[in-house]
Amino acid sequence: MNDPALTLALAMASGMIAQVIARHIRIPGIVLLLVTGIVLGPDCMNIVQPASIGGAMQIIVGFAVAVILFEGGMNLRINRIRREARVIRKLITVGALVTALGGTLTAKIFLGWDWRIAILFGILVIVTGPTVITPLMRRLKLQRSVATVLEAEGILLDAIGAVIAVVALEVSLSLSGVVFAKGLLTIVVRLLTGSLLGVTGGFILAALLRSRNLVPEGLENVLTLTLVFVLYQGSNALSPESGIVAVTVAGLVIGNIKTVVQRELMEFKEQMTVMLIGMLFVLLAADVRIAEVYALGWGGIFTVLVLVLVVRPLNVFIGTAGSDLNLRQKALLSWIAPRGIVAAAVASLFALQLDQNGFNGSQLRAMVFSLIAGTVLLSGLTGGAVAGMLGLRRPRNFGWIILSANDVCRALAKTLIREGEEVICIDENPKACRQAEEDGIRVIYGNGLDDRILQRAEIDTRMGAIGLSRNEEVNLLFGEKVKKIGKLRQILVGLKSGNEGVTTEMVTEMGATIPFGQPRDIEQWVGWFRRGLVTLERYAFTGSDDPGLTDPESKGLFLPLVYHRNGSAMPLDNTVKINVDDEVTMAINSHREKEAQNWLANHGWVPAREKR
C-alpha cells in the first residue's frame, strides 16, 4: 500500500463515497470525511498512507486549496457583502484579534505550550472554514443576513488568516529582531500583492470568458482551472503565500461579472471543489495520529471548550458591537464557527517545519484537528436546532418566484404582495428589473435557468414558481428546473393561446399547471398594460354554475390573476375550483370593459366592494 498514486486514488474515491453517504443520511459531509481518514489511515486499516506522498503533499494541498478558495470567492455576492460590510469588516479585524488572543492564552494556560507555539495556534484558529460553512448554510437555510456574514467571514478570513499565520511562523522561527520588526510590513505586502494580482487576474479571465468567439466552446472550464493554478503559484513566486489571497480575490471578481459561461463554470468548480475537499480531508485526517490527539489529554478538551464557548462568543459580541445585529443573530454567529480545510492544511505545513526546527509540531497539528472535529460536529449536528430555536431559519413553503418582470408579472406580484406573500421576480432585462424595483418588488437580475440565480432566490424554501416569460418553451424549461432543484409544491407554466409549441398535456405530464386558468397571449396583455388599457378589480363569485374563467371566449376580456379564499391568496391556475364567496383579482381590458363586466355578471361575478 506504500504507493503515492494509490494513496491519492483511494483518498479521492473514499472522500467522494463518504460525501455521498453523508448526503443520504443528512449529516455534514466533513464529519464522515474525518472519520474516513482516521479509519483508512495508518492507525487503523493502514490503507491511505499520506507519508508515501512525501514532499509532493504540500504541492497537492496548495493546488487543491487554490481551487477551493477560488470557488468560494465566486460564490460571494458583492451586493450582499456591501449590505453587511460593517459587520464583516469588524469580524475579520477586531473579532479575529479577539480570537487570536483568546486562542493564544487558552493554549498557554491549558496546554502549557511555549509562547511561540501558543501564538501560532492562536493565529491559526482565527480562520473559519468556507468548505464547511457554505454547504452548512445550504442545508440549514438560515436567514440571508446571517448566512452572508458567516460565508464572507469564512472565505475572507481563510485567505487573510493563512498569510498572517505563515508570516508568524517565519518570525517565530527566526531569532532576528529585524525579521520580527518587518513581520507586520511583510503581512501587508503579501496581502496587497495577492489582492492586486487577484483583481488583475480576475478581470483578465472574465474578459476571456465574456465572448464565445475568443475561447472555443468546451475549453472554458479547463482554461479557467489552469489559469487559477498559474495565478496561485505565480503570486506565491512573487510574494510567498500570497497566492491564497490572489485566487480568492480573482474568484470574487469573476463571480460578480456576467460571462457567457458563468453557469457552466460554477457547476464545474463546485464539482471540482467537492472532490478536492473529500481528498484533502481524508489525506490530512489520515496524517494525524490518534496517539497525538490522546496525548493532549484534558488540556486539549478544555482548549476546545473554551474556544467554542468563551472565545467565539467574545469574538462575535466585541466584533459586532454597535452593529444592527440583534441578540439572536449574535448568538447564532457565536454558535456556528467550524474550522475547515485551510486550518488543517496550514497546521500540517506548520507541523513539518516546527519538527525540523526542534519544536513539537505534531501537537499543534493534533490540537487543530481536535478543534476542527469539535466545531464541525457542534455546528453540523446542532446548528439547525439552535437556528430553529432562535427563529433564524428561513420559513419553508413561503413566497413565490416569478420568471420575468414584465407588466403582467408585476401586476401579479403586487397583488400577491398586498396579501402578505413574498414574491421575487427574475429577469435579464435591466429596464424591467428597474421598473419592478420601483414598484416595490424584490427582483434578481439574471437568467432564471441558472442554478446560482435560483439559489439566490432561495428556491428550496418557496411555495411555488411561475414561468411567465413571453417564450413558452423557456417557461417549460424553468418549470422543469425548479421542480428538479427546488422540489416545489406548485409550479405554473405560462402558455400561449393555440398551443403553438408547448401543449397543455406536456405541462400536465411534468406535474405543473397553467396560470390564469388557461393559455393566454401574455405578450398582448403586456402591451395593453404598457398603454394603460388595463384596470385591476376584485370580484366575488356568487353563482352556482360554471364561473366562466376558463372559457376561450373570455381571453381578451379579462385576466384572472389571484384568487382569495379564507384569508389566503394564491395565483389562479387551471385546476382551481371556484367556490361561492371566493374572490378573484381580475385584470380587465379597458377597451372591452363593458363587455367584460357583462360576461362576469352573467357568470355569477359581482365586484367585491358591492358584495361587502
pLDDT (0 to 100) of residue 176: 52
> What single-letter amino acid sits at 130?
P
Biggest alpha carbon–alpha carbon distance for the chain? 95
Q: How far apart are CA 15 and CA 17, in angstroms?
A: 6
Q: Which of 423, 436, 418, 431 is nearest to 463 (CA)?
A: 423
Query: Which domains, and CATH codes, for the chain?
Result: 4-389 (1.20.1530.20), 400-611 (3.40.50.720)
pLDDT (0 to 100) of residue 151: 82
pLDDT (0 to 100) of residue 612: 58
Kindly state the cell numbers that stand for 128: 473559519
Query: pLDDT tens digits, residue range 418-450?
Result: 988 889 999 988 888 888 888 889 888 888 888
> What single-letter amino acid sits at 325?
L
Q: How far apart are CA 120 and CA 364, in angstroms?
A: 9
Q: How far apart are CA 380 and CA 376, in angstroms?
A: 6
Kindly state the cell numbers that stand for 184: 507586520
Q: How far apart are CA 137 and CA 147, in angstroms?
A: 6
Name residues of the chain where pLDDT drops below 70.
1, 130-131, 173-184, 212, 258-269, 486, 497-500, 610-612
- C-alpha dihedral (426, 432, 434, 439), degrees to nearest 10: -90
Chain position carrying cell 460593517: 86
Terminus-to-terminus CA distance in the chain, angstroms?
Answer: 82
pTM over 0.85: no
